[in-house]
Amino acid sequence: MSRAVRTPGPGPWTRRAMQMLGVVALLALAATQAMAQRPNQRADSVPLRADYRNIDELLAKLPRVTAPAFAESDGLELGAIQLACLDRLQPLQPRRNQARAAAADSAASAADSSAASAADSSADSTRTRDASAERGENYFWVASYSLVARNNQTRAFWGCDDWHSAVSSTWATAFLLERFPNSALQELSREKLADHLGASNLAGELEFFQASAAAINPIPYSGQRGLFERPYGFAWLLKLYSALYTWPDSAARKWTSNAAPLANWMADSLGAYFAALPVAARDGDQSNTAFSLMLALDYAEVVGDLPLRRNVIATARRFYLTDKACKVEAEAAAGRASRGGGNGRPARADSAQRATRADTGYNDLSAPGAAPPPRRRRAGPGDVVSPCLTEAALMSRVLGRNDFANWLRHFLPPLESGRFSPLTEPAGGTEAVPASDSARLSGLSFQRAQAMERIAAALPSSDPWVNALHRISAIHGKRGFDLMRGDVSGISWLPAYALLYIEARKTP
């Protein structure tokens, strides 16, 4: 019957229409499937601004912001924040961010990381969660807690909300003291440093970490945590040690020798962790691998730890050398103030590259690179790191000047493009920033500014990006200080972020 109705005219047209319909249907199907497989990703509702013609137009359009000065009075302000927290006991229940930083170490094995990603994606559906019950606490053994004996003599970093914040606060205190030796807080700062960096305190720390490492079951099991505070806190400890190491001061020399065994042990442990890490964590929080690699590299170069330096460089090249087209637009959400917390989407450095293998028909499990699934973390109010900029800042130290400039052009979109615009706008935008989110956005601003300064310092001075990066980093730096002054709580970690920026800003 169908043969009988076929006429010369409409035949091919109908066929083409059918073909088109088929294609449309297939595309729709593919789209639905893709969406079904990534249930947590939503389309970004804020459109990017249009591209500018060139870098000159960008410079003309950027607001004129002078990089914030950093005078002794600013140092006093940051120093006071640190002094206020160094002796405040860390709470029994760690805050959310710390739990996450501690969990980051589980990335050390593919088994752990995929378990974490699997668990993460299911966790969104389980709203009522109790972190300790999740680890099986109170199933059989019920714990009651008391302060460890002589904590002020056998522990060094027991203040400031959590371990890594205590370390970074100690670093900030030392940094400020070296920078402003005649500060009004000088005596008080020295007293705190002496109290916390005594020989028995640091020996106790080393003992604790060695025991923690020994207690880890070599067999990964559900709920197993990695080594406490590795990599993020370890990287901060190395940063602190490098500051003490280079500080020409008699007390600092003593603290350096007290801290040396711990720093050596952590450098080795962190190096082993990097070497075994199958996949880089590319999230915008403390687990970000490039961030820890960068602080570790600072240490390795200052102290002359050649094995760690080789290890960091090899790890950075393994993860990042072939990266292209970083998804800066994915960082737009991190820069927005969250409403009620928890709805900012995670920024990822490499989402373009591992979009999906769904289109190839078969899923070849033997293909190189097929094995470890990407880690995925819950969207949350923990984003304080720019994945794209941090990776670039790290690579600026790994590659030679010209190689880096070349790599950077493939990695970041042109600064004048609309795609880069999320990193040119001050965090929090023009909306009022809720107090609960201003500390995070302040830290993120400092971190973006710091990374831009590091990148600019590594480019050839004739590169037109250098000037543009300084202009943009000034916007972020100023924003960081403005937002910091708008918050009153939970900012013990913030001065360290400000000072990493201040430190990066001094042109070599």
Residue 148 found at the interface with other proteins (CB under 8 A): yes
Instruction: Give residues 168-187 in contact with other proteins (rule: CB under 8 A).
Output: none
Cα distances (angstroms) measured from residue 416 to each of 349, 472, 474: 19, 11, 17
Tell me the C-alpha distance between 46 and 334, whole Å.
Answer: 13
CB of 362 to other proteins, least distance (A): 5
Give the residue with the Cβ less far from other proteins, 13 or 139. Answer: 139
CA atoms within 13 A on the CB side of 57: 10
Q: Which stretch binds other proteins (CB under 8 A): 77-85, 140-148, 184-192, 266-274?
A: 140-148
Tell me the C-alpha distance between 49 and 46, whole Å.
Answer: 9
CB of 154 to other proteins, least distance (A): 10
Give the residue with the Cβ less far from other proteins, 18 or 119. Answer: 119
To the nearest 10 degrees (0 to 180), the angle between helices 387-398 and 289-303 is: 30
Give the residue with the Cβ less far from other proteins, 147 or 432. Answer: 147
Please identify which residue in the block is written with the tokens 């120093």. 79
Q: Which two tokens stand for residue 378?
A: 């819950």
Residue 115 found at the interface with other proteins (CB under 8 A): yes
Using only C-alpha atoms, what is the Rg of the chain? 25
Give the residue with the Cβ less far from other proteins, 197 or 449. Answer: 197
Type of residue at 374? P
H-helix or E-strand containing 164? helix 163-179
| Cα end-to-end span (Å), the chain | 84
**Number of residues located near other proteins, criterion CB under 8 A:** 81
Is-contact 431 337, C-beta < 8 A? yes
Residue 7 found at the interface with other proteins (CB under 8 A): no
Instruction: Give residues 477-496 in contact with other proteins (rule: CB under 8 A).
Output: none
Binding mask 270-289 for other proteins (x = CB under 8 A): --------------------
Q: Which stretch binds other proteins (CB under 8 A): 118-126, 167-175, 246-254, 284-292?
A: 118-126
Residue 355 found at the interface with other proteins (CB under 8 A): yes
CB of 38 to other proteins, least distance (A): 7
Instruction: Give residues 369-398 in contact with other proteins (rule: CB under 8 A).
Output: 369-371, 373, 376
Give the residue with the Cβ less far from other proteins, 57 or 207. Answer: 207
DSSP 52: P
Largest Cα–Cα separation, the chain: 102
Sole binder of other proteins in the list 217, 250, 430, 462 (CB under 8 A): 217
CA-closest candidate to residue 333, choices 347, 320, 323? 347
Instruction: Give residues 91-110 in contact with other proteins (rule: CB under 8 A).
Output: 92, 110
Residue 322 found at the interface with other proteins (CB under 8 A): yes
Q: Which two tokens stand for residue 158?
A: 């027991």
CB of 276 to other proteins, least distance (A): 9
Sole binder of other proteins in the list 7, 366, 430, 489 (CB under 8 A): 366
Give the residue with the Cβ less far from other proteins, 71 or 142. Answer: 142
Residue 411 found at the interface with other proteins (CB under 8 A): no
Residue 150 found at the interface with other proteins (CB under 8 A): no
Q: Which two tokens stand for residue 87?
A: 């002796």
CA-closest candidate to residue 446, choices 333, 291, 272? 291
CA-closest candidate to residue 374, choices 284, 277, 282, 485? 282
Residue 43 found at the interface with other proteins (CB under 8 A): no
Give the residue with the Cβ less far from other proteins, 9 or 361. Answer: 361
Contacts 24+ apart (CB under 8 A), 483-487: 483/427, 483/428, 483/433, 483/438, 483/439, 483/441, 483/442, 483/445, 484/438, 484/439, 484/442, 486/433, 486/435, 486/438, 486/442, 487/435, 487/438, 487/439, 487/442
Sole binder of other proteins in the list 14, 19, 32, 37 (CB under 8 A): 37
Residue 121 found at the interface with other proteins (CB under 8 A): yes
Residue 163 found at the interface with other proteins (CB under 8 A): yes
Cα distances (angstroms) measured from residue 393 to each of 1, 101, 338, 356: 70, 21, 27, 28
CB of 328 to other proteins, least distance (A): 17
Please identify which residue in the block is written with the tokens 């991190």. 334
Q: Which stretch binds other proteins (CB under 8 A): 70-78, 216-224, 300-308, 493-501?
A: 216-224
Give the residue with the Cβ less far from other proteins, 140 or 248. Answer: 140
Residue 145 found at the interface with other proteins (CB under 8 A): yes
Q: Which stretch binds other proteins (CB under 8 A): 34-42, 287-295, 380-388, 478-486?
A: 34-42
